[in-house]
Structure 1
């Protein structure tokens, strides 16, 4: 039986795989896609990750009609996922800043996150990616955390994410300070 959580060493083909999928998405969605970004661990050179390409499509509204075309590219919407986790202590965030649509493609493992421009959850993964790209020691430490969690909880995704998400929220506090200092 295959483990639910498997972390692999960085694969140099991930950026090209993203570009191929992004091009397909841009052709399908046209101007409805305000931005298409490679996010998540596979977007950070050298970072160990699950072999899943995470992509964020930024839209003006989650009600964008063009999104109904995503099944043409093999994306299946997971209707039970309607938002992102709220970082501990962030009671100041409006619920709208955490909403999203989520799709999965299984022929090539892809997680597709549809988020609204200017919201907290739309900026968070971009800042995460850029911070880890600029801070290789933080990226290596984060990779080690993920590898150890996968080792201890290979068949328990809930335990893996219950620990990984708050750890990453700690990393993000440094990312916020970095973004302010760098005018990002």
Structure 2
């Protein structure tokens, strides 16, 4: 659930080239705050895919050695980031395994973003990178995914409902992504 300052309805917009620069600014702040805990800071989600329509919300993945909730929450809270409390922001199924994660909202008044902490070698970290890289590589999949998200946002403006409906569709997309990964020999980018 969004925090009270995040109540805007879902809106999917055309790709904006400035998203890459905005990610770079966020990544620098997050790397500094996380120190050695940040094994890699990845731009993930739809704003990381040039040409893909998206919600104007930067998704950042920080790959960490392991989820260490008290320590990691404290590191990001020190710079105003708020840990999302919902169960789906604490764990997710990926690769047939239940994987831990933490998701943070920006400081009040900060640039809209979601910061996802995932263990560096966990299936859910791989999933986020595969989603990004597959949509960067496949023009047709990117066009269809954008059209789906636009239709969904037009008919379901509530962020929670939008996200819940998008989950099973993402599973279908990722079946094609896994075939692409097998065909191309794709591997996740290494951690820093």
TM-score range, shorter chain: 0.7 to 0.9
1:174 maps to 176
Paired residues in the alignment total 175
Unaligned runs of 5+ in 2: 1-6, 187-192
Of 86, 105, 123 in structure 1, the residue corresponding to residue 126 of structure 2 is 123
Deviation at 1:119, TM superposition (A): 1.2
Superposition TM-score, scaled by structure 1 size: 0.88
Please, what is the CA RMSD of the aligned residues? 1.7
Q: How many angstroms apart in 2 are the aligned matches of 1:11 and 1:73?
A: 26
Q: How many angstroms apart in 1 are the aligned matches of 2:8 and 2:104?
A: 21
1:68 maps to 74
Secondary structure of the residue that 1:74 maps to in structure 2? coil
Of 141, 147, 157 in structure 2, the residue corresponding to residue 138 of structure 1 is 141
1:28 maps to 33
Q: Deviations over 1:144-172 (max 9, x none)?
A: 10100111111x33432233221111111
Deviation at 1:3, TM superposition (A): 4.9
Range with greater deviation from structure 2 (20-29 or 31-40): 20-29
1:157 maps to 159
Unaligned runs of 5+ in 1: none
Q: How many angstroms apart in 2 are the aligned matches of 1:79 and 1:161?
A: 16
Q: Check whether the contact 2:97–2:123 (CA below 8 A) recurs between aligned residues.
A: no
2:91 maps to 83
Cα distance change, pair 135–79 in 1 and its aligned pair in 2 (3 A): same
Question: Superposed, which structure 2 residues align to 1:97-108 within 5 Å?
Answer: 97=99, 99-105=100-106, 106=108, 107-108=110-111
Q: How many angstroms apart in 2 are the aligned matches of 1:67 and 1:60?
A: 15
Deviation at 1:67, TM superposition (A): 4.5
Q: How many angstroms apart in 1 are the aligned matches of 2:156 and 2:72?
A: 38
Q: How many angstroms apart in 2 are the aligned matches of 1:158 and 1:30?
A: 32
Q: How many angstroms apart in 2 are the aligned matches of 1:83 and 1:94?
A: 10
Which structure is higher in strand share? Answer: 2
Of 63, 67, 87 in structure 2, the residue corresponding to residue 58 of structure 1 is 63
Q: How many angstroms apart in 1 are the aligned matches of 2:36 and 2:73?
A: 12
Superposition TM-score, scaled by structure 2 size: 0.85
| 1:112 corresponds to 2:120 | no
